[in-house]
Amino acid sequence: MANSKYEYVKQYELDDSLLPGCWIVVRIDGKGFTKFSELHGFEKPNDKRALDLMDECAKEVLNEFPDVRLAYGESDEYSFVLGRSTDMYGRRASKIVSLLVSCFTANYVAKWAAFLPDTPLRSTPMFDGRAVCYPLDSNLRDYLSWRQADTHINNQYNTCFWALVKSGKTPTEAQATLRGTQTAQKNELLFNEFGINYAHLPEQFKKGSVVLRRKTMVEVKQRADGTPVLRERNLPTVLHTDIIRDEFWNEHPQLMAP
């Protein structure tokens, strides 16, 4: 074979398959979104349009890849959970990560104008990605709890920080005011100084976004008389809910199923 003398190079392609029997979590994160959000005038600390765009892209990832059973997102990041027994692309890490990242990024660009119609896209959004294996159900629960706790901590801090800056403090002064403060003190500061009740802020900002499939009635066609024909479909749905407590997992037992 004319090609055979070159074929040995294939041996350099190492196996990168992810451990069998483990949960696979792929977390993607926007590259340089501090700058990207400035460039596009995102509202501080949370821009609902940008967060809705992230949620929409995550839904598209679930539409495209049936093996992704759950996603959790906040700020410029999203985590995608694949079941323990998935055989998607032979569990090859680079294949899975690169496809999820490119699916998300392509949708981010394609749907940008629908979510930020008055803001032209002025740079190319990019996302990095990594895959991590978790052997125990409790590891997966702890991972997701870690991300949601992070959402709360960041959101509370950023809400205080930007309220102080918008009221005239410099970023350094705002940082100094917040240094060492506990949750309750931050809530008091928001309420007493700015009349903001933290509990009343949008759930999307406080809890982040969960995407899972839910039975939904959709119109599949219309009868001759114009009445719709509805069918039940399992469609990706976004929730802004607590995923740390057991209630969520008891309500959605299919998420932890083997």
Q: Name the segment binding ligand GTP (CB under 6 A); options: 47-55, 92-100, 210-218, 240-248.
A: 47-55
Q: Does 30 bind Mg ion (CB under 5 A)?
A: yes
* Contact between residue 66 and residue 72 where contact means Cβ atoms under 8 Å apart: no
Q: Is the Cβ–Cβ distance between 70 and 214 less than 8 Å?
A: no
Least gap, CB of 129 to ligand GTP (angstroms):
11
Contacts of 206 (CB under 8 A, 6+ apart): 151, 152, 155, 198, 240
Q: How far apart are CA 116 and CA 53, in angstroms?
A: 9
Nearer to ligand GTP, 33 or 72 (CB): 33
Per partner kind, with CB cut-offs from 5 to 8 A, the member of Mg ion, ligand GTP, none near residue 86 is none
177 burial class (0-12, 13-18, 19+ CB within 10 angstroms)?
A: middle
Give the residue with the Cβ less far from ligand GTP, 208 or 236.
Answer: 208
- Write out the binding residues: 29-30, 75-76
- Three-state secondary-structure class, residue 231: strand
Q: x/- string (CB under 5 A) for Mg ion, residues 153-182?
A: ------------------------------
Residue 11 structure tokens: 């041996």
In the complex with ligand GTP, the residue whose CB is nearer, 3 or 34, is 34
Q: How far is the CB of 128 from ligand GTP (least distance, A)?
A: 7
Q: 19: which 2 tokens?
A: 């451990």
Interacting span for ligand GTP (CB under 6 A) from 18-26, 38-46, 206-214, 217-225: 38-46
In the block, which residue shows the tokens 């406080």? Answer: 206
CB count within 10 Å of CB 19 equals 12
What residues from 170 to 199 belong to the interface with ligand GTP (CB under 6 A)? none
74 contacts Mg ion (rule: CB under 5 A): no
3-state helix, strand, coil in the chain (%, to 5): 50, 20, 30
Cis preceding-peptide flag for 45 (omega within 30 of 0):
yes
Whose Cβ is closer to ligand GTP: residue 44's or residue 92's?
44
The binding site for ligand GTP (CB under 6 A) comprises 29-34, 37, 42, 44-47, 50-51, 75-76
